[in-house]
Amino acid sequence: MRHRLHRAIPLFALFFTLLAAASLVLQARVVGDLIERPGLEEFYLQPVAEGSGPPGEIVRQEELVGLPFDSRAWRILYRSTDLNGDPVIVSAIVVTPLGPAPAGGRTVLSWGHPTTGSARECAPSLGADPYLDIEGLRLMLDRGYVVVATDYAGMGYPGPDSYLIGATEGNNVLDAARAAQHIPAAEAGSSVVLWGHSQGGQAVLFAAERAADYAPELDLLAVAVAAPAADLTALLDADIGDISGVTIGSYAFTAFADVYGDTVPGVHLADILTPAAIAAAPEMNELCLLSHVKRLHEIGQPLVGDFVLSDPSTTPPWDDLLTQNSAGSTAFDAPLFIAQGLDDTLIHPDDTRDFAQHESSLGIDVTLDEIPGATHATVAYFALPGLAEWLDTHVGY
C-alpha cells in the first residue's frame, strides 16, 4: 500500500482556480438550466412503458441546454437492477467533451455522489445546476472522459429506496456506464474509471467488487474514492451519538426497513429506533441534506442520545445488514486511490486507514492520500491534484 501525506497543500490556490474557471461559464449555464426547468418533473414522473430490457438500456433522454464549457450533455433514464436482481429505472446525467474521440471510444468516468438525501426530490440531476455536485467534472472532461453521474434508484425517477444499499448502488453505477455507451454522440468506449465521495465511495467500491460478474464487458481501469462510507459498522458506531449520525441513521434505517423488512425478521424501525425517532423519521426523510440542513438539525438535535433502542452494530439482524452493506468483502482487479481529509469528523481518518490496509491485504494496489485541513465536505475537491497525478500513472492521459 502506498501512503501519501501532504506536507503543504495549495488549498486556497486550488479553490480560487476552480472558482475562476467556473465563473467563466456560470452565467450561460444558469440561463440554460432555467430554460430546462419547465417540464422537468414530467421527464421523471411520466411512467416508463411496461416491458423489460438489458441493464444500461436508455428508456428516455433529452439533450441539455445549460452546459459546462466545451461539452454536450443529456439527462437520461436507464434500466438497472436492485440487490435482488429486480429491474429498476434510474436517472442520470451524461456529459461528454467536444472534439474527436480516441480509437475505441472515450473512457467512461462513472461518478457516485455523496449523500444529498434519500427522497426522490434530492436527486442531483433534478437540481438547478445538475453538474454542480459532480466533483472533478472539469478535470475529467479535460482528460477526455465521458462523465456519467447516477442519482441511484429511488431518486429522480420513483422507485425503491437505495440509500446505503451497496449492491443496488453498485449496480446503478455500473449500468450508468453502460448507458453512456448508448448515446452515439458521447462516443463512449468500454474502458471505465469509477470515482465517488462518501456514500458515493461506498457505491463505487461495490461497483468495483461486482464488476467482473455483473458487467464483465466493461474494462475497469481504476477506482477512486474520497472519504468513503466503506465500513458502515464503524461509521454508525462513531457517529450515532451526534446530529450527523441521527440524520444518516434516519435515512439508512428507513431504507433498510423498506428493503429488507419483508424478508429479514426483525428489520422494522420499531425494532431499532426510539418512538421519538420513528415519529421524526418521515419528515427527516423528505428533507434534502444540503437545502434543508437547518430544518434537519431542528428535528434531529433533540434525538441525539435518544435515537436508537440499542447499538445497531451489535444488535441482530442490524449488525449483519451493516456488514453486508460494507465494502471490502471481495478483491477487484484495478488499482484503488483513497483520499481522506485529516479534519474529517464524519468518516474518521483511522477508519479509512484501517479500510485501506484491509484492501491492500486482499492484494489490491492501494494508494492512500491523506490531506491535512480537508474536511468531509472538501476532501474530494482537495484530492483532485493527487487524483490527477495518480490517474496519469495508473491509467495514462
Asked whether residue 259 falls in the same domain as residue 183, the answer is: no
252 lies in which domain range?
A: 232-323
CATH number at residue 137: 3.40.50.1820
Closest Cα to residue 86, out of 165, 5, 181, 178?
165
Has residue 330 been placed in a domain? Answer: no
Per the structure, the count of domains in the chain is 2
pTM of the predicted protein model: 0.92
Asked whether residue 223 falls in the same domain as residue 316, the answer is: no
Has residue 328 been placed in a domain? Answer: no
**Final residue before a domain boundary, out of 323, 346, 362:** 323
Predicted confidence (pLDDT) per residue in 10-33, tens digit: 555 554 555 554 455 444 445 445
Rg of the chain over all Cα atoms, to the nearest angstrom? 20
Predicted confidence (pLDDT) per residue in 165-174, tens digit: 999 999 999 9
Quote the DSSP letter at residue 332.
Answer: -
Phi first, then psi, for residue 242 (nearest 5°) are -135, 180
Has residue 120 been placed in a domain? Answer: yes
Closest Cα to residue 214, out of 99, 56, 394?
56
Q: Is the pLDDT of residue 242 over 60?
A: yes
Predicted confidence (pLDDT) per residue in 274-321, tens digit: 999 999 999 999 999 989 999 999 999 999 999 999 999 999 999 999
Asked whether residue 297 falls in the same domain as residue 172, the answer is: no
Per-residue pLDDT, 17:
53
Has residue 164 been placed in a domain? Answer: yes
Has residue 301 been placed in a domain? Answer: yes
* Helices within 152-292 (DSSP H only): 166-180, 199-214, 232-239, 243-260, 275-284
Q: Taking each helix axis from N to C terminus, what angle separates 349-361 and 232-239, rounded to the nearest 10 degrees?
A: 170
Q: How many CB atoms lie within 10 A of CB 213?
A: 8
Q: Is the pLDDT of residue 62 over 80?
A: yes
Strands lying side by side in the sheet with 188-197: 2-5, 366-371, 336-341, 219-226, 188-197, 106-112, 146-150, 87-97, 71-81, 58-63
**Final residue before a domain boundary, out of 323, 356, 379:** 323
Asked whether residue 181 falls in the same domain as residue 203, the answer is: yes
Asked whether residue 133 falls in the same domain as residue 260, the answer is: no
Mean pLDDT within 354-375? 98
Asked whether residue 275 falls in the same domain as residue 141, the answer is: no
